Amino acid sequence: MRHNGFAFALAFASVLGALFVAACSAAGRVEVVTTTVQVAALAREVTKGTPVQVLSLVGPGVDPHEYEVSPGDVQQVGAAKLVLRSGIGLDAFLDRALTSSGQKRVATVTEGIKLRQIRTEQGKTEDDPHVWHDPANDRVMVENIVKALGATFPEQAATFQKNGSTYAAKLDATDAQIRQIIGAIPAANRKMVTDHDAFGYFLDRYGLPFVGAVIPNVSTQGDTSAKQIAELQDTVKREGVKAIFSEESVDPRIAREIAKDTNVQIVADLYGDSLGKPGSGQETVDGMLLYNARRIAEALK
């Protein structure tokens, strides 16, 4: 389920990436490459006030589940002083770039997080990679980023540590704000239907029951059968669901059809697998979390 122009966006990103690598090299700047926008956003909080330049392979609005490595990505990864990855299968596309570039300086920033388990349509169990939807997990990621950056750039370690502590406090404040926002939703109205099973950590933390998904999968890669759509429509009606939530990086057509057929509201701009563009207010992890919480609360009150 790709955006229109997705292939063009990837090609354009590849060209920009190659130009960025050349520019950074010419300017003598330090470079850290991340796989996803969430890891990049957290790394930028940690590197504030330092010469460390953070670059993300996957850009805002791009679904990492469908991302394909380009030649420019391989060049960026090979030129990096450090690669920060999300892991848990979300950025398996990095493996090819690592092999092709020979890059060995890699840190997985989700290490130490207690993972949520999801049961697939085939009855298998998978780890849920969408850990950033819980501020407590983001704190762990920040700690791991501070450690990896400090080991790579020891002269900046004290600044990384200070910035990490500052952002951890901001995440705590964000967590408290979200609890207030979600707490204002009547208990009977909190049932959630989403595009795919991407918000489990958020729902678990803030007490929002998960009723179903348009794509019954931890990834957006998959199709929804007519039978599954009919079953979800029946569930929406039976459970008295108030809204269906689609994601900014996912085609909302099927979700819109289900919402129309069940006469419920659709919210088509949550951030599940991505963040907002620079200047949107949702380009940071804390900004994205608050935005999602407010949009959910507005629809379910």
Q: Is the pLDDT of residue 51 over 70?
A: yes
Mean pLDDT, range 171-194, rounded to an integer: 97
Tell me if domain 6-174 and domain 184-300 are identical in fold: yes
pLDDT at 217 (0 to 100) = 56
Mean pLDDT, range 113-137, rounded to an integer: 90
pLDDT at 24 (0 to 100) = 46
Q: Where do the domains of the chain lie? A: 6-174, 184-300
Q: What is the CA radius of gyration of the chain?
A: 20
Hey, which CATH number is domain 184-300, 3.40.50.1980, 3.40.47.10, 1.10.10.10, 3.30.470.20?
3.40.50.1980
Q: Are 249 and 221 in contact (CB under 8 A)?
A: no
Query: Which fold is adopted by the domain 6-174?
Result: Rossmann fold (3.40.50)
What's this model's pTM, rounded to 2 decimal places?
0.87
Q: Is the pLDDT of residue 168 over 50?
A: yes
